[in-house]
Amino acid sequence: MHSLFVSFMIRLINMNDTNLNVRQKQILSILKQQSSVARQGLAQQISAKKGISRITIIRDLNDLINDKLVKVEGKGKNTRYSLLETNPLLNYLDLDGYFFEEDRIIKKKFDISVFNHLNNLYSPGEIRLWEKSKKVFKEAQEKLDPSIYKRELERFVIELSWKSSQIEGNTYSLIETETLIKQNIKARGHSNEEAVMILNHRDAFNSIIKNKEDFKKIDFSDVVQLHNILTKGLITSGVRSQKVRISGTQYEPLSDKHELEKILRQLIGHVNKTEYPPEKALILAIMIAYLQPFADGNKRTSRMLSNAVLVAFDFPPLSYRNINVNEYRSVMIIFYETNNLFNFKRLYLKQLQYVIENYFQF
């Protein structure tokens, strides 16, 4: 890849960094509690204990403004800051502090009103990042030698199959996964079900590539079929008819089969009406897992269906290669309990950044 283009991509990524520093988290927490705060008052609350300079705080504030998290009003001594609330799903929520709140109020049941806010989920800067990723992916397909591109796609599939399975508790290592996928040799000391799970991921992604056009407009059967491939030989397929519980949360998914199918169809309709493909993908990545329409394999289906939509519209799929499993589970639980998408979206975008930096280079 041309060095100037790489430099441009790095600058773009840095401008849209998904990591907040400690000071920025403090700023957002203060603004969440106090609604609107003058610059001087904000600086005093942050610098009192740490001895942080005024210039540093202003720089942090400017970054938060650029990231569309904070808005500023007034000038000079009258300057005040507050949270930029464009979508209630995307309000700032401190991931680290959430699970230490003993008396937090949670939603224990599926909230259908979440559909009202599943739109305009990306800022202009995030859309630019997605568009640049699409350009990188397209150029790689056009300029890479076919044999090199094939090997790179195989590496991607191996890492996706390994990591997505690891999120589900699979204990295969990356090397063992590579050997299984390339040579069909199962690793010793692991159950047959673990090998099946990994190979099902490979088969599911191959099906996505083969039938990519089908995912431009999703049908109910597309979702069920992809779930079938991912869970073949592991569980009974089809929309569940019994209650399921999720470890680590009091959230209880719906249990009525007819209601599950009805809302799944509503979700599919909503996604098909959504115009921007990466927004379609983000919605599927969180909502299939939230609805839990199947007895098992819901998060696997959410990740692969999300990738299917990205591939269908020529955006790069996500491998989740560098994801922290506990962080992933935490942000999922936060969405289940609060419908807050802030942390999940930032984690999702971090995976996009990883793809840009680590796959299909030329």
* Cα–Cα distance measured from residue 290 to residue 286, given in angstroms and rounded to the nearest whole number: 6
Residue 187 within a domain: yes
Number of domains the chain contains? 2
Residue with tokens 């003058």: 38
**Together in a domain, 160 and 233:** yes
* Cα–Cα distance measured from residue 16 to residue 66, given in angstroms and rounded to the nearest whole number: 9
Residue 221 within a domain: yes
The alpha carbon torsion through 49, 54, 59, 61 (nearest 10 deg) reads 70
**Together in a domain, 210 and 294:** yes
Determine the pLDDT at residue 305.
Answer: 98
Query: Which of these three, 84, 99, 131, is where a domain ends?
Result: 84
pTM of the predicted protein model = 0.84
Residue 24 within a domain: yes
Determine the pLDDT at residue 30.
Answer: 82
**Together in a domain, 156 and 57:** no
**How many Å separate Cα 74 from the centre of its chain?**
35
Contacts of 45 (CB under 8 A, 6+ apart): 26, 30, 37
**Together in a domain, 21 and 154:** no
* Cα–Cα distance measured from residue 284 to residue 151, given in angstroms and rounded to the nearest whole number: 28
Residue 298 within a domain: yes
Give the type of residue at 281. A
**Together in a domain, 137 and 47:** no
**Together in a domain, 140 and 65:** no
Determine the pLDDT at residue 17.
Answer: 39
| CATH code where residue 79 lies | 1.10.10.10
Contacts of 270 (CB under 8 A, 6+ apart): 115, 118, 283
Residue 157 within a domain: yes
**Together in a domain, 117 and 80:** no
**Together in a domain, 29 and 174:** no
Determine the pLDDT at residue 313.
Answer: 97
Domain that holds residue 80: 17-84
| CATH code where residue 229 lies | 1.10.3290.10
**Together in a domain, 48 and 117:** no
Residue 7 within a domain: no
**Together in a domain, 136 and 43:** no
**Together in a domain, 219 and 281:** yes
Determine the pLDDT at residue 70.
Answer: 86
**Together in a domain, 69 and 133:** no
pLDDT along the chain (362 residues), means of 10: 41 47 81 77 70 79 80 81 82 87 88 95 91 92 91 96 97 98 97 98 97 96 97 91 91 95 98 98 98 96 98 97 95 96 95 92 72
Residue 277 within a domain: yes
Residue 2 within a domain: no
